[in-house]
Structure 1
Amino acid sequence: MEIWIKGIYTAEDVSMAIKHGIDGLVVSNHGGRQLDGVPATLDALRECAVVAGGKIPITVDGGIRRGTDIFKALALGASHVFVGRIPIWGLAYNGQEGIELALRILMYEFKIAMALAGCRTIKDITRAHVSYLSSDGVLAKL
Structure 2
Amino acid sequence: MNLKWLLQVFEKLGSSLYDFLRKNNYRSFPIDLVREIGWQLLECVAFMHDLRMIHTDLKPENILLVSSDYVKIPEYKGSRLQRDVCYKRVPKSSAIKVIDFGSTTYERQDQTYIVSTRHYRAPEVILGLGWSYPCDVWSVGCIIVELCTVCV
User: TM-score if structure 1 supplies the norm length?
Assistant: 0.26
Structure with more contact order per residue of length (Cα contacts < 8 Å, sep ≥ 6): 2
TM-score under structure 2 normalisation? 0.25
Write 1 or 2 for the structure with the bigger share of helix.
1
